[in-house]
Chains A and B, each alone.
Chain A
Amino acid sequence: GAGVSQSPSNKVTEKGKDVELRCDPISGHTALYWYRQSLGQGLEFLIYFQGNSAPDKSGLPSDRFSAERTGGSVSTLTIQRTQQEDSAVYLCASTLGGQPLTRYFGPGTRLLVL
């Protein structure tokens, strides 16, 4: 595709429910990142996948958050037992090998937990 795509674009859920957010990176990009952007805050790093290496999960805020990347392409971020403070925009980015400094970002998923 032409860029990083994310789905859904918007998600409203009730407190306590689980949600899954999907990211399709640019074809051929080996690295994939998830970030969270809360209102009035900068972007917060969540998790990083690089090829077949074990992911860097150092940014995940709690064990309710997990992510997978299947086949080195599509990634799913799962939030279990959502809380109101999870409301944010979740951004995915991918990187072409050899250009590690330039992230290509998706449009984000706006999550609202009621």
Chain B
Amino acid sequence: AQSVTQLDSHVSVSEGTPVLLRCNYSSSYSPSLFWYVQHPNKGLQLLLKYTSAATLVKGINGFEAEFKKSETSFHLTKPSAHMSDAAEYFCVVSSYFISNSGGSNYKLTFGKGTLLTVNP
């Protein structure tokens, strides 16, 4: 079984200050981890992903995340927030499974999301 906990439902920062969006996970196997961003009236966009390579992952728009196995965390950070970063962010864990039809798939489990607001 796997699960994702996003520790904050809402984070508010001032423009130019650092961003920290927290995510903890649980997984029976070596997980792959993702952060997706969803802007208003837009589809989900992949920010970055960890798939057992380097533990510090760099994504688009200056975001990065660090996989810490000992803490089962995958927090998302950005040194300086921009107004355009205001959106909802989803932490996602993935594991490989065999479906009912006998095929294989990577199952994604999404966190409940963190709404980031950026104040001028």
Same complex origin of A and B: yes
B49 adjacent to chain A (CB < 8 Å): yes
Measured in the bound complex, the distance between the Cα atoms of B43 and A93 in whole Å is 9
Report B48-91 residues with CB < 8 Å from chain A CB.
49, 51, 90
* A residues less than 8 Å from B100 (CB atoms): 56-58
Measured in the bound complex, the distance between the Cα atoms of B44 and A106 in whole Å is 7
Assess whether A54 is in contact with B101, with CB atoms less than 8 Å apart.
Answer: yes
B28 adjacent to chain A (CB < 8 Å): no
What is the predominant secondary structure among interface residues of chain B facing chain A? strand
Measured in the bound complex, the distance between the Cα atoms of B49 and A65 in whole Å is 31
Bitwise, A28-72 to B at CB < 8 A (1) or not (0) is: 000100010000111111001010011111100000000000000
Chain B nearest CB from A92 CB (Å) reads 9
A97 adjacent to chain B (CB < 8 Å): no
Assess whether A107 is in contact with B42, with CB atoms less than 8 Å apart.
Answer: yes
What is the predominant secondary structure among interface residues of chain A facing chain B? loop
Assess whether B111 is in contact with A42, with CB atoms less than 8 Å apart.
Answer: yes
A102 adjacent to chain B (CB < 8 Å): yes
Query: Number of residues in B with C-beta < 8 Å to the partner?
Result: 29
Query: A9, A40, A43, A55: which contacts B110 (Cβ < 8 A)?
Result: A43
Report B73-120 residues with CB < 8 Å from chain A CB.
90, 94, 99-103, 105-113
Query: A4, A40, A101, A107: which contacts B112 (Cβ < 8 A)?
Result: A40
Chain B nearest CB from A72 CB (Å) reads 14
* A residues less than 8 Å from B17 (CB atoms): none
Assess whether B44 is in contact with A56, with CB atoms less than 8 Å apart.
Answer: no
Assess whether A103 is in contact with B111, with CB atoms less than 8 Å apart.
Answer: no
B interface with A by C-beta (< 8 Å)? 4, 9, 32, 34, 36, 41-46, 49, 51, 90, 94, 99-103, 105-113
List the 6 closest A-B pairs by CB distance, nearest first. Answer: A105-B44, A43-B110, A42-B110, A54-B101, A56-B99, A105-B43
